[in-house]
Chain A
Amino acid sequence: KNQVEQSPQSLIILEGKNCTLQCNYTVSPFSNLRWYKQDTGRGPVSLTIMTFSENTKSNGRYTATLDADTKQSSLHITASQLSDSASYICVVSPGSSASKIIFGSGTRLSIRP
């Protein structure tokens, strides 16, 4: 069964600190993996996309990594800001059909001043 699991479920860190969010998936065949950011009360917005051949991709203070062999991805946030408080959702697209993109349950990140 195709699944996407994220950890931790929630995380609280102080402003300025770094953190890493994890995503493990069992989706096969695999096409690509996206990290979305969902602010409270808003729809998710894509942060970054990675295909199976990419290991690292950065978007400002966000750096995503992908290990297609172990089926793991991480999202590293550097020098966190209060505006980083949100849910971060890992989404995997199977290689066979875009209609079955699979969402993880997300990690709720809270940044404290």
Chain B
Amino acid sequence: NAGVTQTPKFRILKIGQSMTLQCTQDMNHNYMYWYRQDPGMGLKLIYYSVGAGITDKGEVPNGYNVSRSTTEDFPLRLELAAPSQTSVYFCASSYTYPKTMNTEAFFGQGTRLTVV
């Protein structure tokens, strides 16, 4: 059971470059999230999705874009990388709360991104 899979694990970008962080889950969760975690800090929500075709902004969406064409995949796009986007990025997924009361979020292993 793979759970939540993120790729790549590490990446170095130059300022102004673009890239896509991939995230896929095989648990049929309808909720998916992207968080960033700066050194010594907590998780901050970038974007989330409540189902295929639906996305919404979190706390820190500027400089990022997402799409959710399928239940399984939730890629995060950085269009013009900036040093402020140096961080560890975590993708997560969960069930809908009202139906199951099971709100546990399952996390991927993270992508460590450095922008130089």
**Interface size classification for chain B:** 20 to 34
Chain A residues with Cβ below 8 Å from B4 are 43
Which A-B residue pairs are the 9 nearest by beta carbons?
A: A43-B107, A98-B97, A105-B42, A93-B103, A103-B43, A46-B104, A98-B103, A106-B42, A44-B107
| Residues 79-113 (chain A) with a chain B CB within 8 angstroms | 89, 91, 93, 97-99, 101, 103-106, 108
Q: How many residues of A contact B (CB 8 A)?
A: 23
Residues of A within 8 A of B90 (CB): 43-44
Q: Are A89 and B104 in contact (CB under 8 A)?
A: no
Inter-chain contact A108/B105, CB cutoff 8 Å: no
Q: Which residue of B lies closest to A42 (CB)?
A: B109
Known: A91-B105, A99-B50. A104 touches B42 (CB 8 A): yes
Asked if B48 is at the interface (CB within 8 A of a chain A CB), the reply is: yes
Question: A98 touches which one: B31, B40, B110 (CB < 8 A)?
Answer: B31
Q: Which residues of B sit under 8 angstroms from A98, Cβ to Cβ? A: 31, 94-98, 103
Q: How many A-B residue pairs have CB under 8 A?
A: 56
Taking the complex as formed, is A65 at the interface, i.e. its CB lies under 8 A from any CB of chain B? no
Provide a sorted-by-A list of 14 A–B residue pairs whose CB atoms are within 8 angstroms. Answer: A32-B101, A42-B110, A43-B107, A89-B42, A89-B43, A97-B97, A98-B96, A98-B97, A103-B35, A103-B42, A103-B45, A105-B41, A105-B42, A106-B42
Closest to A87 in B: B42
Residues of the B chain whose Cβ atoms lie less than 8 Å from the Cβ of A99 = 31, 48, 50, 56
Contact partners of B31 in chain A: CB under 8 A: 98-99
Q: What separation, in Å, do the CA atoms of A103 and B37 have in the docked complex?
A: 12
| Listed residue (A44, A49, A89, A98) with the most chain B CB atoms within 10 angstroms of its CB | A98
